[in-house]
């Protein structure tokens, strides 16, 4: 019998997945934005997305609010690309600020961190307020950049107690900048839902009183559940 199971295991092959390529998601990914429409997204209050799709790019409309995926996720591999606007007279946290909220509750900072010093745990690729990025590999404003996340959701007991916190490995422009970082709490301002429940991918419309318009661009967004 053991030989039988060994033989089955030996000849059962990993599932075949087309890996995709530049601007093409792997074949088993949930595609959230492929350049055509923002249909997979809403604002948190349920409004249809007011962010616009221009030349295959999702453009943040300042003042309209964050955008979140209709679908919710737990542990996942997530890919997205972004470009920060050119804001030569703006500095620090006001410059090209957005964010990617994993499960709608953990913000990974999006910021123009090219020659733009700020506090480390608020710079591009930080887990906001908790983990500095290991290095700064930011490109200039206007240039496309990528984030590749390997996110593990918290492991919880039946009573909702967190047994193992969330972890994140993040590649920014192909370079590891978070290495299995333990995320111990949601970013302040989360919606208060249990961290044991799945959540949407959320993109931030960052409000800053000094800046009326932050035209953040996003493209090629997909998720593979793990």
Closest distance to Mg ion from the beta carbon of 91 (Å):
15
Contact pattern for Mg ion over residues 46 through 85, marking x by CB under 5 A: ----------------------------------------
Q: Are 125 and 148 in contact (CB under 8 A)?
A: no
Distance CA 125, CA 131 (A): 9
Stretch that binds Mg ion, among 35-43, 153-161, 206-214, 215-223 (CB under 5 A): 206-214
Distance CA 79, CA 18 (A): 16
Distance CA 123, CA 50 (A): 27
Closest distance to Mg ion from the beta carbon of 109 (Å):
5
Q: Which residue has the tokens 């908790």?
A: 130
Stretch that binds Mg ion, among 22-30, 52-60, 113-121, 197-205 (CB under 5 A): 197-205
Candidates 65, 85, 96, 99; binder of Mg ion (CB under 5 A) is 99
Give CA separation, 36 vs 79, 147, 220, in Å. 17, 20, 10
Candidates 68, 97, 178, 220; binder of Mg ion (CB under 5 A) is 97
Contacts to Mg ion by CB under 5 A: 97, 99, 204, 206
């Amino acid at each position: 019998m053991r030989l039988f199971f060994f033989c089955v295991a030996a000849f059962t092959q990993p599932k075949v997945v087309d890996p995709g390529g530049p601007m093409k998601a792997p074949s088993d990914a949930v595609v959230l934005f492929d350049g055509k429409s923002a249909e997979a997204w809403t604002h948190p209050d349920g409004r249809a997305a007011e962010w616009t799709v221009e030349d295959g790019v999702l453009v943040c409309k300042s003042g309209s609010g964050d955008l979140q995926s209709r679908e919710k996720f737990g542990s996942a591999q997530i890919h997205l690309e972004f470009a920060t606007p050119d804001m030569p007279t703006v500095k620090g946290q006001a410059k090209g600020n957005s964010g990617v909220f994993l499960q709608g509750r953990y913000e990974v900072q999006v910021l123009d961190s090219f020659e733009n010093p700020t506090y480390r745990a608020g710079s591009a690729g930080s887990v906001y307020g908790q983990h500095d990025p290991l290095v700064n590999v930011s490109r200039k404003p206007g240039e496309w950049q990528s984030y590749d996340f390997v996110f593990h959701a918290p492991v919880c007991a039946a009573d909702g107690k967190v047994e193992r916190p969330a972890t994140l490995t993040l590649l920014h422009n192909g370079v590891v900048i978070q290495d299995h970082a333990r995320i111990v709490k949601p970013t302040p301002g989360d919606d208060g839902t249990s961290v044991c429940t799945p959540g949407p991918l959320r993109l931030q419309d960052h409000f800053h009183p000094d800046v009326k318009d932050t035209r953040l661009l996003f493209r090629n967004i997909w998720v593979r559940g793990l």
